[in-house]
A and B are shown apart, each in its own frame.
Chain A
Amino acid sequence: MQEKTPSLSHTNPESWLKDHGDALYRYAFSRLRDTTQSEDLVQETLVAAFQGRHGFSGRSAERTWLIGILKNKLVDYLRKHAREVASGDMTGEDLDTEAMFDPSGNWKTPPSDWENPTRALEQKQFWKVMSKCLDALPSRHARVFSLCELEDFDSTEACKVFGISATNLWVLLHRARLRLRQCLENHWFGQKTSE
């Protein structure tokens, strides 16, 4: 039996699936927070990688190359489903964040002092809470948030993907942040101080 040469392994989607399938899925899931969509994205990535296999220079690691393709597929996906983000100006989701303030614009429950929050970054449990809080975001907010905060798209690029105005984008991002903040305070930082 012959030893596998590198050139063989990168024309073989089956071995990509075996070696990198979980990593690709994890990446997709961290951005989309949805099992089915993330699985579909892994499959699309492998197909696209196969079609573009001659473009793999071998300079970057196989996984990095595949993740690069996945990122493009993710943006395609978000663009295709942009209408879901653009629709609905003042849905119930948005009213929830409105309700964080009283009619004169004061916090109903003022944000507390999280005291040295960076300590949380080293705790496994914290990342579980963070995942849960991201899961709890309404999908319009989550998608915009993923692209801008996790994929590091700037406002102009993100507006193009979603086909919305900058003002609209900033409001969605703001609402996502308000929700995440509230969730972390409820399930992590608030817990800590009450101990």
Chain B
Amino acid sequence: MLTCKQTSLMVSQSYDRRLFWRERIGMRLHLLLCAACTNFKRQMDFLRQALRHFAAQEWEENERIRLSAEALERIARNIDHLR
């Protein structure tokens, strides 16, 4: 029987590679019996969904993050020779 630590690694890797059938069965069996790891798996599913949103939206919507006046000026100066 896998431990929670091993199971969490399997859950994580299931997003990055195809698990071997033995690993997959070990993970499923543990998840069937363990509420904490089931929560972990759901949290990971959510995290991936959230990151998809994040990857697409942040550079458009987060107005707080912008070039400082100094950086703008410096970059403008450094690209000035490009004409």
Q: Which A residues lie at the B interface, using CB under 8 A? A: 13-14, 17, 21-23, 25-27, 29-30, 35, 39, 42-43, 46-47, 50, 67, 101, 104-107, 110-114, 117-118, 120-121, 127, 130-131, 148-152, 155, 166, 169-171, 173-174, 177-178, 180-181, 184-185
Contact = CB atoms under 8 A, between A and B. Distances in A.
Contact of A104 (B3, B39, B58, B65): B3
Shortest 6 CB-CB contacts between residues of A and residues of B? A105-B3, A110-B36, A27-B59, A105-B5, A174-B12, A26-B59
Nearest to B70: A39
| Interface SS of chain B | helix
Contact of A170 (B16, B43, B51, B60): B16
A166 B18 CA distance: 13
B37 to A, nearest CB: 8
Interface of B: 3-6, 8-9, 12-13, 15-17, 35-37, 39-40, 42-44, 46-51, 53-55, 57-60, 62, 65-68, 71-72, 74-76, 78-80, 82
A8 to B, nearest CB: 12
Contacts, number: 144
B4 to A, nearest CB: 5
Contacts of B47: 177, 180-181, 184
B17 A155 contact: yes
A179 to B, nearest CB: 11
Contact of B39 (A21, A101, A110, A150): A110
A152 B55 CA distance: 9
A177 B9 CA distance: 10
Contacts of B54: 30, 127, 130, 150
Nearest to B48: A149
Given A14-B79, A150-B51, A26 B66 contact: yes
B6 A13 contact: no
A26 B75 contact: no
Given A17-B72, A114-B42, A47 B55 contact: no
